[in-house]
Amino acid sequence: MLQIGLLGTLQVVHAGVHITPSAPKVRQVLALLALRANTTVALHQLVDELWEERPPSSAATTLQTYIYQLRKLPGLCDPQLPGAGASPRGLLTTPGGYRLALPTGCLDAHEFGELAARGREAMERGVVAEAADLLERALAVWRGPALSDLAPGPIVGIDALRFEEKRYEVLEERINADLLLGRHHHLISELTALAADNPTREGLHAKLMLSLYRAGRRPEALEVFQRIRRVLTRELGLEPCSELQRLHQQVLAGDRGLDLPAERTAVRGAPAGDPPVNLPADTPLVGREADLLHVRQMLAEPQEPDGPRCVAVSGAPGAGTTAFTVHLAHRLADAFPDGQLYVSFGDPADPLPVEEVLARLLEAVGYRRSELPPHRADRARVFHAWTAERRVLLVVDDVAATSQVADLLPVGSGSAVLVAGYRRLYGSQFRARMDLPPLGRQRAQELFWSALGRERALADAPGVRMMLDLCGDLPGPMLEAAGLLALRPHWSVRRLIDWLSRERPAVVAQQRPHPFHHVLRRCGRLEPRLRDALAALAWALTGDLTVEAAARALGKGADETEELLEELVEFFILGVDRATDPHTERFFQYRMAPLVRMALRAMQPADTCV
133-179 tens-digit pLDDT: 899 999 999 999 999 999 889 999 999 999 999 999 999 999 999 88
Q: Are 417 and 409 in contact (CB under 8 A)?
A: yes
**Taking all residues of the chain, what is their mean pLDDT, rounded to a whole number?**
85
Give the burial class of 382: count Cβ atoms within 10 A of its Cβ; 0-12 exposed, 13-18 middle, 19 or more buried. buried
pLDDT in tens, 366-408: 888 877 788 888 888 888 888 877 889 999 998 988 888 888 9
Pairwise pLDDT comparison (610 vs 567), residue with the higher score: 567
Q: Please, which residues bridge with residue 4 across strands?
A: 12, 107
Measured torsion, CA atoms of residues 102, 103, 107, 109, in degrees rounded to the nearest 10:
100
Task: Give SS3 for 393.
Answer: strand
Give the other-Cβ count within 10 Å of 181's Cβ.
18
pLDDT in tens, 16-74: 888 999 999 999 999 999 999 999 999 999 999 999 888 898 998 999 999 999 998 88
**pLDDT at residue 223, rounded to an integer:** 94
Which stretches does DSSP call E strand in 154-223?
none
**pLDDT at residue 303, rounded to an integer:** 57
CA 323 to chain centre: 17
**pLDDT at residue 124, rounded to an integer:** 83
Task: Give SS3 for 174.
Answer: helix
What is the DSSP-derived secondary structure letter of residue 545? B
Euclidean distance between CA atoms 192 and 187, whole angstroms = 8
Percent of the chain with pLDDT over 90: 35
> Is a pLDDT exceeding 60 seen at residue 424?
yes
Residue 167's contacts (CB-CB under 8 Å, 6 or more residues apart) are: 7, 112, 139, 142, 146
> Is a pLDDT exceeding 50 seen at residue 608?
no
Pairwise pLDDT comparison (14 vs 610), residue with the higher score: 14
Question: Nearest 5°: CA angle at 588, between 584 and 590?
Answer: 95
> Is a pLDDT exceeding 80 seen at residue 506?
no
Helix/strand/coil percentages in the chain, nearest 5: 55, 10, 35
What is the DSSP-derived secondary structure letter of residue 107? B
**pLDDT at residue 85, rounded to an integer:** 43
Q: What is the mean pLDDT of residues 565-572?
A: 90
Question: Nearest 5°: CA angle at 82, between 79 and 84?
Answer: 120
pLDDT in tens, 242-297: 889 999 999 998 887 887 664 444 444 455 567 889 888 888 888 888 888 888 88
- Tell me the pTM: 0.55
Measured torsion, CA atoms of residues 310, 314, 320, 326, in degrees rounded to the nearest 10:
10
Q: Please, which residues bridge with residue 313 across strands?
A: 420, 434
Q: What is the mean pLDDT of residues 479-506?
A: 81
Residue 172's contacts (CB-CB under 8 Å, 6 or more residues apart) are: 203, 204, 207
Q: What is the mean pLDDT of residues 229-240?
A: 92
CA 383 to chain centre: 23
**pLDDT at residue 609, rounded to an integer:** 41
**pLDDT at residue 374, rounded to an integer:** 80
> Is a pLDDT exceeding 60 seen at residue 558?
yes
